[in-house]
């Protein structure tokens, strides 16, 4: 099977962080890749020197276009919902016509828009997020709900959920938590939250080797430069971009997916090749 692969993401930069290597791999092999980004990212952390509110939304949209181009995305669609922020209740009065932030927009409304894209593209694969919305950001949980629903309604043959293996994350967070007095920026990390985040390794069905594409992934991350600086807090992208190449490749050289039941059965855990089309 061939055909379009549609990736659904919450904020500009999630496409590069979680699935950048897979997008680049698919595009390089001639597959049409469509990227759907739900929010404008206006609640993203950024230094006040960079921007805030609507200016930040415009900057993030330009950064997204640059990242998408570097990954080989054929079409990028921004649904334009207001970013909900980490507490899920951001003020969206500055955005014309926006009643609710993305996380509180009715699931059926967003799913209908996705269904239209999946049908128009005759998508053979759609990728959303795992049931924990990764690290439980309200917008990521909403991506899980709307993509799962849209895949079912559109009858898309393969539905995948992008994720990370939980165990190494919990381990890293507990270490960071123990040394939080050394690095004040780590103060917000709560190991309990991470114990319910992402996906246990045993439930991950597809581990995609994207090592040949880590340089492209790194370039896509670099395109999101407004997210590299922040007045407070630890910036994931900043930390990743500071890593030496070989460490970056080690951390970012595999991307992980859960294949939901409607698709093919599990294809193996840890290092299985990307079998994105299921059995032929
Ligand atoms: Zn996000």
Structural domains in the chain (count): 2
- pLDDT (tens digit, 9 = 90+) per residue, 100-117? 899 999 999 999 999 999
Look at 59-68, 105-114, 186-195, 262-271 and tell me which has the smallest mean pLDDT.
262-271
- Is the domain of 86 the same as that of 206? yes
- Is the domain of 147 the same as that of 77? yes
- Is the domain of 140 the same as that of 55? yes
CA distance 76 to 3: 16
CA distance 147 to 164: 18
How far is ligand 1, taken at its centre, from the CA of residue 239, in Å?
Answer: 16
Identify whether 72 is part of a domain.
Answer: yes
Q: Does the pLDDT of residue 68 top 90, yes or no?
A: yes
- Is the domain of 114 the same as that of 215? yes
pTM recorded for the entire structure: 0.87
Question: Where residue 248 sits, what CATH number does that domain have?
Answer: 3.40.50.10320
Would you state the pLDDT for residue 275?
Answer: 55
How far is ligand 1, taken at its centre, from the CA of residue 213, in Å?
Answer: 21
Q: What angle do CA 124, 126, 129 make, to 5 degrees?
A: 160
Closest residue by Cα to residue 73 from 223, 173, 202, 174: 223
The mean per-residue pLDDT over the stretch 56-60 comes to 88
- Is the domain of 54 the same as that of 86? yes
Identify whether 21 is part of a domain.
Answer: yes
How far is ligand 1, taken at its centre, from the CA of residue 280, in Å?
Answer: 34
How far is ligand 1, taken at its centre, from the CA of residue 215, in Å?
Answer: 21
- Is the domain of 191 the same as that of 210? no
How far is ligand 1, taken at its centre, from the CA of residue 152, in Å?
Answer: 23
pLDDT grade for 51, boundaries at 50, 70 and 90: low
φ/ψ (deg, to 5) at 199: -140, 135
How far is ligand 1, taken at its centre, from the CA of residue 4, in Å?
Answer: 23
- pLDDT (tens digit, 9 = 90+) per residue, 122-155? 999 999 999 999 988 999 999 999 999 999 999 9
Question: Could you give the C-alpha distances from 260 to 39, 105, 200, 204, 224, in angstroms and in order?
Answer: 25, 24, 14, 10, 30
Q: Other C-beta atoms within 10 Å of 181: how many? A: 8
């Amino acid at each position: 099977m061939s055909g379009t692969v549609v990736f659904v993401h919450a904020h500009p930069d999630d496409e590069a962080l979680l699935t950048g290597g897979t997008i680049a791999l698919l595009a390089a092999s001639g597959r049409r890749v469509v990227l759907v980004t739900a929010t404008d990212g206006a609640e993203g952390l950024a230094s006040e020197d960079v921007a805030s509110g609507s200016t930040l939304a415009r900057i993030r949209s330009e950064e997204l276009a640059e990242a998408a181009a570097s990954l080989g995305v054929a079409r990028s669609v921004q649904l334009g919902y207001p970013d909900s922020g980490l507490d899920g209740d951001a003020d969206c009065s500055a955005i014309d016509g926006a009643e609710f932030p993305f996380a509180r927009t009715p699931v059926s409304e967003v799913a209908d828009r996705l269904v239209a894209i999946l049908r128009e593209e005759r998508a053979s694969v759609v990728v959303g997020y795992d049931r924990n919305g990764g690290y439980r950001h309200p917008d990521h949980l909403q991506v899980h709900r709307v993509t799962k629903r849209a895949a079912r309604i559109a009858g898309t043959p393969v539905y995948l959920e992008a994720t990370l293996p939980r165990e190494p994350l919990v381990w890293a967070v507990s270490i960071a938590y123990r040394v939080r007095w050394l690095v004040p920026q780590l103060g917000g990390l709560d190991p309990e939250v991470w114990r319910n985040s992402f996906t246990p390794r045993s439930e991950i069905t597809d581990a995609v080797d994207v090592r040949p594409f880590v340089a492209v992934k790194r370039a896509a991350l670099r395109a999101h430069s407004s997210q590299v600086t922040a007045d407070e807090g630890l910036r994931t992208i900043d930390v990743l971009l500071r890593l030496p190449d070989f460490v970056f490749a080690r951390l970012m050289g595999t991307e992980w997916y859960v294949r939901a039941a409607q698709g093919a059965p599990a294809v193996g855990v840890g290092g299985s090749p990307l079998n994105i089309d299921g059995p032929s």
